Structure 1
Amino acid sequence: MTRVVVAPDKFKGSLTAPQVAAAVARGLREAVPDVDVRLLPVADGGDGTVDAAVAAGFLKVGRWVTGPAGAPVPASFAVRGTTAVVEVASAAGLTLLDRPAPLDATSHGVGELLKAALDIGCTTIVLGLGGSACTDGGAGMLEALGKASFADVDLVLASDVDNPLLGPSGAAAVYGPQKGASPEQVEILEARLEAFARRIGPEYASRPGAGAAGGIGFAALAVLGARFRPGIEVVLELAGFAEAVAGASLVITGEGSLDAQTRHGKAPYGVVRASGDVPVVAVAGRCSIEPGDLGLKAAYALLDVEPDVTRCMALADSLLGVLGGRIARDWVSE
């Protein structure tokens, strides 16, 4: 029986990674009913990382925490055995704000989630760093943790960015404007981060990933003894991708937009690199790069089926089913 591994990231603003995977699988099975489909939705360390862990068999645990604006918000993390997956976006995500708060947003809730994972005995914690609303250098996170010890914990930072904390490639300059910061506010944030770094560990400010999630990466490296890894690599390990792809005849990955940025730590490129000799094709909302440049055998875009962007997003589930059928006819033997 032909085995197909379906390992997409989310289509931002439209479908979660598990929803994308399910839609593609539906199309595959409609075209080739006896195909063996393994669903392994993935993420690159940003929002969706907990969902990917849950899809891989982790248990979702809910908690109320301090949100980025200071008010309580419902958040969650994932647990399997003594391993936890915590997502910055769940507790301090930009989508949790009614309006941007570039100077005031806090990472306090992230610390509360980490402490909750410690309290239930987790000794390995993966912290997905994407999607944050804050640029506080992780100060709020450290405040929430208090004297909690990470001496016996393997804290893994999972991210698709490796920016330093400070300077033109740092947290404030690159990501501050995305969080609503004006040029003047970027300067204020940079000065705050610089002062914070001088106080708790300036030697860590230039480390890869220190600038991720508004500097949460820096605090985790400098104070909590964390280590940094590309997010997609971590998620693929948690999902058991190597075992699933062994003996597979095809891998299907994807994300909302396949473009030049996809090569820089994004999930589809990580899936291609982890698939070895197994051919990989992709689904996407749009594709503005040659598939071969990403190591893909082919790419199937929703906009090629429905050119109207608004309708394309609204009908993404059904359109992905159509693409799943096309992939089956092109790549899967009946």
Structure 2
Amino acid sequence: MKIVIAPDKFKGSLSAVEAAQAIARGVLHACPQASLDEIPMADGGEGTVDALVTATRGTFRTVAVTGPLGQTLDARFGLSGDGRSAFLEMAAASGLVLVPESQRDPTLTTTRGTGDLILAALDQGVDRIVLGIGGSATNDGGAGMAQAIGFRLLDVDGRDLPPGGGALVRLDQIDSTNRDPRLDHVELAVACDVTNPLCGPQGASAVYGPQKGANSSMVEQLDRNLAWLAEVIARDLGRSVADQPGAGAAGGLGAGLVAFAGGTLQPGVDLISRTIGLADRLKDADLCLTAEGSLDEQTAHGKTIAGVARSAAEYGCPVLALAGSIQPGAEALLDQGLSAYFSLCDRPMSLEDAIAHAASLLERASEQAVRAFLAGRGRA
């Protein structure tokens, strides 16, 4: 009996790799003879590099980059086992977790470190870059990233703009003379799990600016600046990005990657599923187990469990989901190929208790879910 195990991380407690290992232990308690295929998953946010390196039997690299506040820090990225693909997370270089709460100011934070990561990947001679852009601290439209890969963003006096989304009001010209030519020979696939446009009420600044430290006047300023950046991009680079779905992701980095680096924005879980060959690994599976910290109405809109369920449904493979919390709206997943979902919590407990014992709870829940599945097939 073949069982595919394809969980996402449990934020604050288990990585996707650790979650897969816990599920595997539970499955083997219920079905010792099972053949297991562990596939740690992600949707473009934290854990993307770990999942892709694990799935492709790759390796990790560490490089010095410019942090969101201009500090130098070490950021990790991955290479596939065959060395042809690089896996990056913008959060490793430009993430909100890298900025102390008291210093969060998206008028100043920069994506330059994400550009440094792209250059490091190009130095490895790869053919393809997969870049997850969740968890950003920035709202600069990818301006810092653009400067790192060779663009000059100039004011009316021909001076380079300083870091941050606040400086974009002074942008007068984009000079692409020194853009790194290696970008023309590499596929840049951007894992993006939101569809926000660059500007407006649903844009980068209005929706995500406050969580990065922006007050109402900053939000208005940043929104105007991103709109102006889009105008200059259209004039100087001939690319229209303002209304592209996903352009507002990561403080407008989605737009910047398209305009400056030739990237394509793709739903994160679908991109990652293709990269690791999830569909091929589900073709002959008898059962798939997936998991993440919480199921709710948002899970059905591009999150890992929804993507895994859709892939498995194409082959008629039953999919069981395990979650620490099951919220209203989770039932929408049943219309996307999910067979059933189960809570990890087998007794009343606090959130802290659930996080502390996540591995053992996941192990026990997976065992019981598989026993129920086998009983239904008359094989218990």
**TM bin (shorter chain):** over 0.9
Q: Structure 1 residues 324, 305: closer, same or farther in 2, change over 3 A? A: farther
Give the one of 210, 216, 241 matched to 1:204: 241
Tell me how far apart the structure 2 counterparts of residues 236 and 67 of structure 1 sit (CA, whole Å): 29
Q: Could you give the per-residue CA deviations for residues 245-285 of structure 1, whole angstroms, max 9, x where no partner exists?
A: 12111111121111100111111101111112101110111
Alignment partner of 1:42: what SS?
coil
Identity of aligned residues (%): 44
Q: Is the 8 A contact 1:303 1:309 kept in 2?
A: no
1:48 aligned partner: 47
1:71-90 alignment runs, 5 A limit: 71-80=71-80, 81-90=83-92
Amino acid at match of 1:97: V
| Greater Cα offset, 193-202 or 81-90 | 193-202
1:199-238 alignment runs, 5 A limit: 199-201=232-234, 203-238=240-275
Tell me how far apart the structure 2 counterparts of residues 182 and 245 of structure 1 sit (CA, whole Å): 47
Alignment partner of 2:37: what SS?
strand
Q: Give unpaired runs (5+ residues) of structure 2.
A: 151-178
* Structure 1 segments of 4+ aligned residues over 6 angstroms from their partners: none
Q: Could you give the per-residue CA deviations for residues 193-213 of structure 1, whole angstroms, max 9, x where no partner exists?
A: 122212113721111111111
Tell me how far apart the structure 2 counterparts of residues 280 and 235 of structure 1 sit (CA, whole Å): 18
1:299-318 alignment runs, 5 A limit: 299-318=341-360
Q: Is the 8 A contact 1:45 1:159 kept in 2?
A: yes
Q: Could you give the per-residue CA deviations for residues 210-233 of structure 1, whole angstroms, max 9, x where no partner exists?
A: 111111110111122211211111
How many corresponding residue pairs? 333
Tell me how far apart the structure 2 counterparts of residues 254 and 184 of structure 1 sit (CA, whole Å): 40
Query: What TM-score, normalized by structure 2, do the two folds share?
Result: 0.84
1:168 aligned partner: 201
Q: Structure 1 residues 209, 126: closer, same or farther in 2, change over 3 A? A: same
Tell me how far apart the structure 1 counterparts of residues 348 and 216 of structure 2 sit (CA, whole Å): 39
Tell me how far apart the structure 1 counterparts of residues 107 and 337 of structure 2 sit (CA, whole Å): 41
Q: Is the 8 A contact 2:195 2:249 kept in 1?
A: yes
Q: Structure 1 residues 306, 60: closer, same or farther in 2, change over 3 A? A: farther
1:95-134 alignment runs, 5 A limit: 95-99=97-101, 100-134=104-138
Residue 44 of structure 1: CA displacement? 0.6
Q: Could you give the per-residue CA deviations for residues 279-319 of structure 1, whole angstroms, max 9, x where no partner exists?
A: 11101111122252443211111234443222111111111
1:18 aligned partner: 17
Give the one of 138, 142, 152 matched to 2:185: 152
Q: Could you give the per-residue CA deviations for residues 46-76 of structure 1, whole angstroms, max 9, x where no partner exists?
A: 1111011111122211112111121122211
Q: Say whether 1:279 aligns with 2:318.
A: yes
Alignment partner of 1:203: what SS?
coil
Q: Which structure's CA Rg is the greater one?
A: 2
Tell me how far apart the structure 1 counterparts of residues 264 and 320 of structure 2 sit (CA, whole Å): 32
Does 1 or 2 have the higher relative contact order (CA < 8 Å, sep 6+)? 1
Alignment partner of 2:345: what SS?
helix
Residue 243 of structure 1: CA displacement? 2.0
Amino acid at match of 2:43: D
2:63 aligned partner: 63
Give the one of 294, 297, 300 matched to 1:263: 300
Q: Is the 8 A contact 1:27 1:324 kept in 2?
A: yes
Q: Structure 1 residues 205, 184: closer, same or farther in 2, change over 3 A? A: same
Amino acid at match of 2:132: G
Q: Is the 8 A contact 2:310 2:336 kept in 1?
A: no
Tell me how far apart the structure 2 counterparts of residues 186 and 119 of structure 1 sit (CA, whole Å): 37
2:364 aligned partner: 322
Q: Give unpaired runs (5+ residues) of structure 1.
A: none
Query: What TM-score, normalized by structure 1, do the two folds share?
Result: 0.95
Tell me how far apart the structure 2 counterparts of residues 34 and 101 of structure 1 sit (CA, whole Å): 54
Q: Is the 8 A contact 2:53 2:87 kept in 1?
A: no
RMSD (Å), alpha carbons: 1.5
Amino acid at match of 2:296: D
Amino acid at match of 2:300: R
Residue 102 of structure 1: CA displacement? 2.4
Amino acid at match of 1:167: G
Give the one of 220, 224, 234 matched to 1:187: 220
Tell me how far apart the structure 2 counterparts of residues 285 and 70 of structure 1 sit (CA, whole Å): 37
Q: Is the 8 A contact 1:305 1:319 kept in 2?
A: no
Q: Is the 8 A contact 1:306 1:312 kept in 2?
A: no
Tell me how far apart the structure 1 counterparts of residues 335 and 202 of structure 2 sit (CA, whole Å): 26
Amino acid at match of 1:330: A
